[in-house]
Amino acid sequence: MENRAVTFPQTRTILDGVNVPGIQLDDIQAILNMRDAWKYLLNTIKEPLTFEYWCKLNEFIARNEALEWGKLRTGNVGISGTEYLPPIPKKQDTEQELQAILWDDTTATEKALNAFTWGTRGQFFWDGNKRTSLMLANKILIMAGAGILTITDKYIEQFNILLLEYYNTGKKDELKDFLYENAIHGITENV
């Protein structure tokens, strides 16, 4: 999770229900929200991926962090580090765009990467867009048994550079290639 001054051991301690001195309440809220979003995703993995499901993911992720959560934003937002201003989303168009991604005749991995890039650049919600897009991509991947998408600390700087470039240009291929090579992790079985 970006811009959070919390280590992995501190996160583990928070998830265990123990107070960690010096951690901001906003950081604790974001960690607990991600925990709850993951619980929801894993408990509903067989449910269809719909517009309403996607909004529910954002409801878990942005709870108590945004003006509204689980609903498309109704005003303008900016993205720090870029001049790009995403348009205010229209529900019908957004639903159609999501369905086009989900029904595209391609692999689950390609759908997941397209969903992630679409959601991050679209900034459809007031807050939590990257986290919601990550969860959306993971729902697609896990449903298909194709692994998970996660950006580790090792790659976060390069990811942020490519993401800013994508915001500015709208060209997603380099970002998708990077994510495919460095951020999708499958499950290996010991046979």
Q: Looking at residue 191, what is its pLDDT? A: 41
Say whether pLDDT at 190 is over 50. no
For 164-187, the pLDDT digits (tens) are 999 999 999 999 999 999 999 986
DSSP category for residue 17:
T
| Whole-number pLDDT of residue 7 | 77
Residue 37 in tokens: 């979003």
**Where exactly are the structural domains of the chain?**
8-185
Contact by Cβ (8 Å): 170, 163 = no
Q: Classify residue 46 as exposed, middle or buried by CB count within 10 Å of its CB (0-12, 13-18, 19+).
A: exposed
Please spell the DSSP secondary structure of 37-95, one letter per residue: HHHHHHHTTTS---HHHHHHHHHHHHTTTSSSSSS---S----TT----PPPP-HHHHH
Mean pLDDT value of segment 45-68: 95
Give the fold, CATH level 3, of 8-185.
Fic-like fold (1.10.3290)
Q: What is the mean pLDDT of residues 33-59?
A: 96
Identify the residue with better confidence: 138 or 22: 138
Structure-token pair, residue 69: 């959560």
3 vs 156: CA distance, rounded Å: 11
Distance CA 171, CA 157 (A): 19
The structure's pTM equals: 0.91
* 70 closest CA partner among 19, 129, 21, 147: 129
